Amino acid sequence: MNIKEIKELAKKFTPQQLENCITQAIQNEGKNKCYTNDDILEVVNTLAKAQTVRELMEQGYSEIEAIRELARRIRKVQGAE
């Protein structure tokens, strides 16, 4: 997980814009207007994480709190929590 890229995307785009980019990436083999990478899975993964962080920030979380919450959610899904 590249925190720097996620933070930059979360600051730059709204959750709806990120959702649109995820859709574009899925439909166009990773190509979208928000984020590019050779691996489509990496593109969708990074955009989804940025979208979650941005949504949390809009709910009142600070940037660092939002990233910590994202990490907590990932650990929970992986069964580490």
Span 37-80, pLDDT tens digits: 889 999 999 999 999 999 999 999 999 999 999 999 999 999 87
Three-state secondary-structure class, residue 79: coil
* Side chain identity, residue 34: C
pTM over 0.85: yes
47/6 Cα distance (integer angstroms) = 7
- Tell me the average pLDDT across 2-20: 96
Question: Comparing C-alpha atoms, which of 52, 48, 81, 80 is closest to residue 65?
Answer: 52
- The answer to whether 24 touches 33, Cβ cutoff 8 Å, is yes
Q: What is the pLDDT of residue 33?
A: 94
Is residue 1 pLDDT above 70, yes or no? Answer: no
